Each structure stands twice: as structure tokens, then as C-alpha cells.
Amino acid sequence: MRNDSLLINKKSWDEVAHRFFGRNPLPEYGPLAPREEDLNLLGDVAGLKVLDIGCGSGHSLQYMDSHDAAELWGVDLSKTQIETAKELLKNSKAPVHLFESPMEENPDLPLAYFDIAYSIYALGWTTDLRQTLTNVHNYLKPGGIFVFSWEHPLHSRAILMGEDFHFNKSYHKEGAYDHEAWHAPAIMQQFKVSTYINTLIECGFEIEKVVEDVSLTEEDRERHANRWYSYEKAKMMPTTLIIKSRKKDR
């Protein structure tokens, strides 16, 4: 099932990558979510080696380059996304290393090497959360940080009808699902907040911050009118889960 899911998702992303060019990259953590300048989860990245898990079109790495990161590394399942990221980052100040690979596998990335790893709206695509987080843990130096964002587990389980929420699936149900807003064959994974936290801990991370806040500026309201992530729904339920963790410094 895992290999089948990876093949389906790779094909889907290769076909729809253009729709997500530059969509919600750092300093954004997700639609209607607080930004890095509000949260300061990454801190000063100048001189640091950074790794993007699910790097997409490369815009988050471009942000890191603009803040003087020493090395830019990225992994993405989609060949189209990697090619797009290579083009975007061809004039970067820092050296760039991009790998077309599932996040569940190590495409020959160095171990205990990175100061920061992050994943912006990509971790929910993993077919094996524990293996992916184990990989990230192995990539980081002791004391290195890992920050990820993903659609909040409640968001796709509840539908706003007028001023009332109707739950269309149990919060307790986890595993693969077809996302209602994804207009191509694709398989994402649904986990509870506690599953993300507990798996991080079991893989050797210390949790430093969990963010479920929203950003409801007028600009946000205009950008997300009549979309899957709506202003009206965000007033009552978070769109995004953001977690900062750190590899234990043994």
C-alpha cells in the first residue's frame, strides 16, 4: 500500500505542481496562520545548514537564502517540483542541494549535519510518519530544531454550515484518506494532534511549542474568500497545526 500511495502522490504532484507555485511558503506557515515574524520559531538562520522536507517549488528555501542560511537542502517526491525549485534557486547565495525522493527514504543526505529541518504543509503526505520523523531526527545535529506545519486535524473533519459545525468523520479515525479539496487522485494521512506529539517524543524529540492560532487580518480575509480555508471557519477553528521540536542534545 505504501509504494502504491507514493506512486499515486508522485503522479498527482507532477501534474498539479503549477497550482502550488509559491503557495504559502516561509515566512508563512499556512493559510490564515501566524507567520514566522510573529512566532520566531526558527530564530536567526544566518550561517546555519537548513533542510526542507517537502520543499515544493523552493520558495521556503529562497526565504532561508534571503536570511543568509549557509547551505540549502531540500527533498521532494515530485520531479516537477524539484526542477522548478532548481530554477528558482539557481542564483542563490548559498549552495543548493535538492533531491527527488520520498520523505520516508534517505536519498543519501548526511546524518547529524543540519542545524534546522522544517516542513511547511508537507508532513501529512507521508505514508510512514514514524519513519519520516526518524529520518529527520537522524539528519539533525544534537540540539537541532525541527518545525513543521500541516492542516489542523480538526479542519477537514468539520464542515461549517451557517453558524454550526457538522462533523463528517470521527476525530479518532486515523490513516489514509482522500482530501475533499484535492482535485486529483492523491492519498494524504490523517493523524490526531496527540499522535504527532507522541511520535515526535518517541523518535527522540523534545517539544518546545505547539501553535493552533489563526491570523484574521483583512488581507487574509480577501485572500481566502470562498476557498477551502475560509475566514469564517477560521474564526471558530484553527486551519493549521504548527509544532516546534528539538533533537535532544545527548
Q: What is the pLDDT of residues 65-100, one digit of tens each?
A: 999 999 999 999 999 999 999 999 999 999 999 999
196 pLDDT more than 80: yes
220 pLDDT more than 80: no
Domains for the chain: give ranges and CATH numbers. 2-159+175-180+193-214 (3.40.50.150)
147 pLDDT more than 90: yes
Helix/strand/coil (H, E, C) string of 155-219?
HHHEEEECCEEEECCCCCCCEEECCCCCCCCCCEEECCHHHHHHHHHHCCEEEEEEECCCCCCHH
Q: Is the peptide bond before 27 cis (omega within 30 degrees of 0)?
A: yes
CA–CA distance from 90 to each of 61, 64, 72, 95, 244 (Å)?
A: 12, 14, 11, 9, 29
pLDDT of residue 77: 92
pLDDT of residue 1: 52
Q: Predicted confidence band at 20 (pLDDT cuts at 50, 70, 90)?
A: low
Q: What is the mean pLDDT of residues 89-115?
A: 97
